[in-house]
Structure 1
Amino acid sequence: MDYKYKIEQLRRQDLLRTVRDRGCPAGRVINIDGRDLLNFSSNDYLGLASSPALIGAAKQALMDYGHGAGASRLLSGGTTVHALLEEKTAAFKGAEKAIMFNSGYAANTGAIPALTDDNSAIFSDALNHASIVDGCRLSAAKRYIYRHNDLDHLESLMKNSPCAHKLVITESVFSMDGDVADIYNLNLLCNKYNAALYIDDAHATGVIGQGRGALAHFNVTPNDNIIQMGTYSKALGSIGGFVAGSEAVIDYLFNTARSLIYSTALPAAAAAASLAAIEYVEAHSELPAELPAELPAELPAELPDLIVKLHKTIDNCRRMLRSKGFTVTLDNTPIIPIVFDSTAETLHISGRLLEMGVYAPAIRPPTVKQPRIRISISAFHEDEDIEHLVNALSEAIR
């Protein structure tokens, strides 16, 4: 295969990607190629990735357990910190049990094929993340794609499927559009057709439902037919993925999920950082106005209530964008897509933003069908950052 020719094809189609690595911690301002830029490209929604709480927890675990895990989880790669994180994750999600994966991608590509077989039917939202798509492709199940957030179309597919075992899969907050799936009515529909509901909560955990995710947001009680997948790597500021559900589901995944069985475990330091992040979000979901007195000592008291601040910043950004004539959805999530007609136009806008000190890369096919600037809001953004972003976007599209 002529890869040089294929690279040139990508270049001509404005689809060639290049990597730009930062020379600093994740945060509000990042340094790329020697320039300080306002960062609107991160999934670090609560700004915890560089927080002293997570760094301190990781340092202590590094001293206690070393760096590399040395083996897969089913051999000797796990530690008591891994087990504690899984217990905390299950409680955080209201589930009986949880299992940790090396990434959200590994969770979806491991769990989905493991939970289905050739007697199953998978019903997947048309805009689900690539990791879900790949997990479905690895499954032996019959696959159905329903129109995005179209529950009538989903029901028609479920009604006509002869398969006894049905699994509906959706993101809760969609990663490229920022809209929210109707989890309440999806759950009712799954109950009606005796189907399991698999929720990818990656962009909802730490953000909606007082940080606990989509089920809490919609006031849906977890049950044996609901499987919650999520990540520690976005709002929780760490690394790794998880699946939470009934004890039977999680025990089965420990025995069958290939991406878990055949991967070296994440270091204990990563698990410790994730644990510190959940403890922070748990503390703030109970008393969102101030830090509670019983907050663990390793979490610095000067940290603001990040969840509340995040949503105030989201509201401010969406309001200012609308005032400038941008079309913005009503969903109160940190993901705000500004869609353009062509890839060339999107690249031009992204380049103009870069000139004005704003880092917001173009999102292009095949990641999305319609190119866009995907604005990601974080709790670390200040009002003047949002104002600069909106003014820069207005200037860039003139």
Structure 2
Amino acid sequence: MAEQITDLQGKKILLAVTGSIAAYKAAHLVRLFVKQGAEVQVLMTEAAKAFITPLTLATLSNKPVMSEYANLKNGVWNSHVELGLWADVMLVAPATAKTMSQMANGYADNLIGATYLSARCPVLVAPAMDLDMYQHPSTLNNIKTLKSYGNLFIEAEHGELASGLYGQGRMAEPEHIVDEICRFFAQDKPLKGKHCLVTAGPTYEAIDPVRFIGNHSSGKMGYAITEELLAQGAQVTLVTGPTALSLTHPNLKVVPVTSAQQMFEAADQCFPSTDITVLSAAVADYRPAMVAPEKIKKQGETMTIECEKTTDIAAKLGQQKTSKQFIVGFALETENENANAQSKLERKNFDMIVLNSLKDKGAGFGGDTNKVTFIHKSGQTAAHALKPKTEVAQDIVKQIISYNA
């Protein structure tokens, strides 16, 4: 289903431009906002003026650009409090590493920082910097902090950078930013009011207090799906096994678990009230029948661990499923992929299954890409090329929307 994009007629946008070479794109961005019917007030740091003049942005926005708390020449006070109350949205574009650090740590030593702290409106951030700066742990930590505050990010794009290097760090193109703002203001997000359950990551089945049986799942696919469901207006409960990932959002409840039994209990409790369930976790099929109370000492040339089946979460939820609920399952196969996935879909009462094969280079555990085939209850199939997991998540959620919107 095509995503509905609204225009920006009458919306008040506070555009904060900071000192990056990408500041030159602000002129095109302001022009696009104005053409969409928005009222734009531009704020600039002193550093940004080295890349684009305030006169250019003032002419395009039909408003004087603000850079200081007060204009001493005409005695006008630029109130950061009033600016924060005026806006429907504040957009920081481009957002430099320095600016994001200041925002994350509450610095208010310029008009943009003070206005950010005063803003009662949603804040969107469009980073721009060289790829090594973008991937530096301090930058990533600041982004994580800003997201935890509820700020939304328009991720930097891949391409040639001002340094001559190629990679992620380019500020999103103005057209893409405007599309994101339009989506943000969309009145009816397709999954608004829907309650979703997502399982993600691996499970760890204890052998003794030190060792466990596990797998290589990183949780990236499940987390990407969760983010996309949230972006489309859903309320999501994420039941996650042990991963290095984290996610915060006002409409998200995260339930961390370790074992398959814990994952089953959390999912089973949540399932009756959900409309949509996505079972992307890599759940252990077996667990040790006995867990040693102390660390098992090395002895002998071999060791045998007797295992027993874990609860089949997918089958249990499939048995409970009503006609008003929609379940998406996953199948990671190494042989007879389509036949095995089709069988799993039928046995576990899924509405759709996402098949991927470990034989496909770039697919499966750990990486940032995946190659999947969608198999529907109706028998319809759709194979997709290798894509970043974020794009695969978008494709999965589009399929969900087509059945549930």
Q: Which has the larger radius of gyration?
A: 2
Normalized per residue, the structure richer in helix is 1
> What TM-score do the two structures reach when normalised by structure 2?
0.27
Normalized per residue, the structure richer in strand is 2
> What TM-score do the two structures reach when normalised by structure 1?
0.27
